[in-house]
Structure 1
């Protein structure tokens, strides 16, 4: 069932039909995000505008976002994230460094602008993982991220994929595609740093 089909069934005027996003299902009139093996863990109203699906940060800020996107915390998170990206790129092989440098030449302020735009969406993508970690008093958020590296990598890459799909710059898209084939392995390799940065300011 599409979201608009559900709206019509509920007697609401249908304006535009679009499919239920991958990784979600409609339950009781709401989109429910799922993580394999974890069950439904995050709900989003099925009637929200298409441009907001699947991100929820603009309409329903989760507990992780409330901490990491706070005005006093976000600048520190941003600097830590930029430092992490720069250090991880330096560890990669020549092909990956070349691809990254090609993108950076097209957009000199790439890291700063990308992190400012992507961090809120990355935080949103990590909300379900944070919720599960919080459900167990003996589980630290960083440990939970490390224990679910593949799922975390997929969630973060889904954000990057959507962002690049909206970019008009052909050089940026070409450079990203060169990196995308092995992106999950690279994100998993960087997971210790990612988990540390994302958990640093979260209770």
Structure 2
């Protein structure tokens, strides 16, 4: 896919049944890498919370990403369309240049999901992590954008 091909949406590029599993795999790896890169006291809290969520139900991270992927793609679609209209740099840098808007669009998805879950342990962990979530998402935007762009081009 070329950057000047305005007709190709993220939805068409990422949610196709032949591509979806690979996209989910890449996003699980991205989350694992982002968590592993955290340091200090707040990093320890994130790592502990992440491990707790994974312990509650093995495979929950992959399942959560897969179940929210359509909503994440919808949230990123306006950014992708704008990026496609301005073919400079990579999508990660594009998102990083719009940290508040991009992070809030993505967090709106997880906030809605956290509100609807019946798992009290997940709600509890999410509520503890949410206070710092925007900064964590902002830090992940360059990596996220590169993953999305690479998968959209595949």
TM range (shorter): 0.7 to 0.9
> 2:89 matched to 1:143?
no
List aligned pairs for 1:91-110, cutoff 5 A.
91-92=37-38, 93-110=43-60
CA RMSD of aligned residues (A): 1.6
* Residue ranges of structure 1 left out of the alignment (5+ in a row): 1-61
> 2:137 matched to 1:191?
no
Matched with 2:22 is 76
Deviations 1:86-109 (A, max 9, x none): 111112221111112222222222
Residues 96, 142 of structure 2: 8 Å contact kept: yes
* Residue of 132, 143, 146 corresponding to 1:182: 132
Query: In 2, Cα distance between the equivalents of 1:158 and 1:166?
Result: 13
> 2:40 matched to 1:90?
no
* Residue ranges of structure 2 left out of the alignment (5+ in a row): 1-7
Residues 133, 139 of structure 1: 8 Å contact kept: no
Go from structure 1 to structure 2 and tell me whether the alpha carbon gap of 1:178 and 1:200 turns closer, same or farther (over 3 Å shift).
same
Query: Which has the bigger relative contact order, CA under 8 A and spacing at least 6?
Result: 2
